[in-house]
């Protein structure tokens, strides 16, 4: 059976004195920075919005800070409470050691939503409009985050004999799906293109539509990816083939579908 060698990458890109610069951290920084730049282009394009009130490009600097804080705190606490509660209750000092890995997307999403809501209240804007901006650019961050999971490596796939299967360090001698790359493609690139197309077709003129499409798209992509990803038998496997990722993603699909229906039925803001 053909097995691709795992491209081992040093998790530390460079060390500046006592401070190591890690690929894992750079992936999150790249996702936030590129998402911020993309968001500025979106809000500057009048044709995408019609008469829908939106934040100014300059105010997005503050939105980035609100969302970044929410993602980091929410992602870490989500991992702690959703996946490894017993370990962190026994070792609470490990919670702050984010450089060791362990960020939950669904926790980061909750944190980002709180940050977006706080920003929308401050700017006196619709929370759905702010959420639409973030939803449209979020797949960029997801893409880089999944690449970080691959480089670390963590969250590897189930055993497989596909020609592109890999043997991951720390996962035994069994060839596995590179499920992190599947998620980067589905939850990242594919969803990014879908939402970019929707924005071009007027989705941002209907508050909540891009957010709903993101919820449906991410939820379905994550559920599909879970069939190829090896769940932790203690913290992720729920029995009968169901995983924690599936259980947390299913409500996203339902809420997203409801938001899409609401946005399409609501009266569009006139230009």
Angle of the 244-265 helix axis to the 105-123 helix axis, nearest 10: 30
22 is in an annotated binding site: no
CB contact at 8 A, 25 and 71: no
In angstroms, rounded to a whole number, what is the distance separating the alpha carbons of residues 109 and 100? 20
Please report the DSSP string for 72-94 in residue order: HHHHHHHHHHHT-HHHHHH-GGG
In angstroms, rounded to a whole number, what is the distance separating the alpha carbons of residues 270 and 123? 21
Structure tokens at 233: 């038998």
Residue that the structure tokens 């009968």 belong to:
240
Q: Exposure pattern of 156-189 as b/e (b: 16+ CB <10 Å)?
A: bbeebebeebbebeebeeebbbbbbbbbbebbbe
Alpha-helical (H) ranges within the chain are 23-44, 60-82, 85-90, 105-123, 127-151, 179-183, 191-200, 209-226, 244-265
In angstroms, rounded to a whole number, what is the distance separating the alpha carbons of residues 220 and 2? 30
Structure tokens at 94: 């490990």
Show binding-site residues: 146
């Amino acid at each position: 059976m053909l097995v691709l060698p795992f491209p081992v990458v040093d998790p530390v890109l460079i060390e500046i004195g006592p401070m190591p610069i890690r690929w894992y951290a750079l992936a999150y920084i790249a996702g936030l920075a590129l998402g911020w730049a993309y968001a500025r282009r979106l809000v500057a394009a009048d044709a995408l919005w019609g008469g829908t009130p939106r934040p100014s490009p300059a105010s997005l600097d503050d939105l980035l800070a609100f969302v970044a804080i929410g993602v980091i705190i929410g992602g870490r606490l989500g991992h702690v409470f959703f996946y490894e509660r017993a370990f962190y209750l026994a070792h609470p000092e490990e919670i702050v050691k984010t450089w060791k890995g362990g960020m939950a997307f669904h926790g980061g999403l909750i944190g980002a939503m709180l940050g977006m809501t706080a920003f929308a209240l401050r700017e006196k804007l619709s929370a759905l409009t702010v959420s639409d901006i973030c939803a449209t650019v979020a797949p960029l961050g997801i893409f880089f985050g999944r690449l970080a999971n691959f480089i670390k490596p963590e969250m590897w796939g189930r055993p497989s004999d596909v020609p592109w299967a890999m043997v991951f360090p720390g996962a035994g001698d069994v060839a596995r799906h590179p499920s992190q790359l599947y998620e980067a493609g589905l939850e990242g690139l594919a969803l990014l293109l879908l939402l970019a197309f929707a924005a071009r077709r007027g989705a941002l003129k209907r508050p909540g539509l891009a957010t709903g499409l993101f919820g449906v798209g991410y939820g379905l992509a994550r559920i599909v990816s879970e069939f190829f990803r090896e769940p932790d038998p203690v913290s992720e496997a729920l029995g009968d083939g169901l995983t924690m990722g599936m259980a947390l993603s299913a409500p996203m699909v339902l809420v997203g579908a409801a938001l899409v229906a609401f946005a399409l039925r609501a009266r569009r803001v006139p230009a």
